[in-house]
Structure 1
Amino acid sequence: MIDANITVTGADGTVFTGSYRLVTTLTDASRYPAAALVGLYHQRWEHTNLRTTRSSTRS
């Protein structure tokens, strides 16, 4: 389990910061460092938000 604070900036400049708890089965900290997992989580939400924004602007 990893506790992290993540900040996301939207396309309109809106900034949101939240506390998140990441739960993973990747238990080898030397192969999967917490900072790398947090970075990947952040990227995942950037891509998800981009897809959501694109689909809502096409409606």
Structure 2
Amino acid sequence: MSNFISAVKTFAADENGVTAIEYGLIASLVGVGIVVAATALGGKLSDMFDFIGSKLKTA
């Protein structure tokens, strides 16, 4: 019975799983930030290339 209690105490003290979850959450937040930034800049970048293309056609 003491081996079982010792194993439970060791499992409760182990923080490797918690660290992995934290890294996963951070990675997902970074991914969401990249998607939001790409979406926001995508339209502006497209408009800029359209403007440059129209100026090249008229030149």
Shorter-chain TM band: 0.3 to 0.5
Larger RCO (CA under 8 A, 6+ residues apart): 1
| Larger fraction in helix | 2
Higher strand residue share = 1
Q: TM-score, normalised by structure 1?
A: 0.46
